[in-house]
């Protein structure tokens, strides 16, 4: 989960920096098509990562998180991580049987349990 947070933070920083340069280009009437495409590709990448790929880009939490004017980068990442957790729930921890639980289960439910010479159960 920390890897996803780190990746999202890096993408948000890249989008923020690119968007800052894009706004400066627009103010002085320079060609900004490449920067606009780069911002769009970063935003689409983030939306795919957090699980919003099937939605219209303007209706996503990703778009809101990136374009809100006064949010810090950390807050933007928190919003994106919340959406990621919503779309990718964590797997529950596996439940393992120990030897005594396995023996008790076989005694109660029937079945065949053979302990190998190495100490394993089969």
pTM over 0.85: no
Q: What is the pLDDT of residues 9-33, one digit of tens each?
A: 999 999 999 999 999 999 999 998 9
Decide: 62 and 50 in contact? Cβ < 8 Å: yes
Delimit the domains of the chain by residue range: 2-87
Residue 93 vs residue 111, higher pLDDT: 93
Q: Which helix (H) or strand (E) holds 68?
A: none
Q: Is 5 helix (H, G, I), strand (E, B) or coil?
A: helix
Q: What pLDDT sits at residue 106?
A: 74
């Amino acid at each position: 989960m920390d890897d996803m947070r780190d990746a999202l933070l890096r993408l948000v920083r890249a989008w923020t920096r690119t968007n800052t340069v894009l706004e400066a280009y627009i103010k002085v009437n320079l060609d900004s098509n490449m920067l606009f495409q780069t911002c769009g590709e970063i935003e689409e990448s983030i939306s795919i990562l957090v699980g919003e790929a099937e939605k219209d880009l303007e209706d996503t939490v990703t778009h809101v998180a990136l374009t809100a004017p006064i949010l810090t980068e950390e807050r933007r990442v928190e919003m994106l991580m919340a959406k990621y957790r919503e779309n990718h729930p964590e797997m529950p921890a596996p439940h393992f049987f120990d030897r005594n639980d396995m023996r008790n289960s076989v005694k109660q439910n029937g079945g065949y349990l053979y302990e190998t010479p190495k100490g394993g159960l089969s």
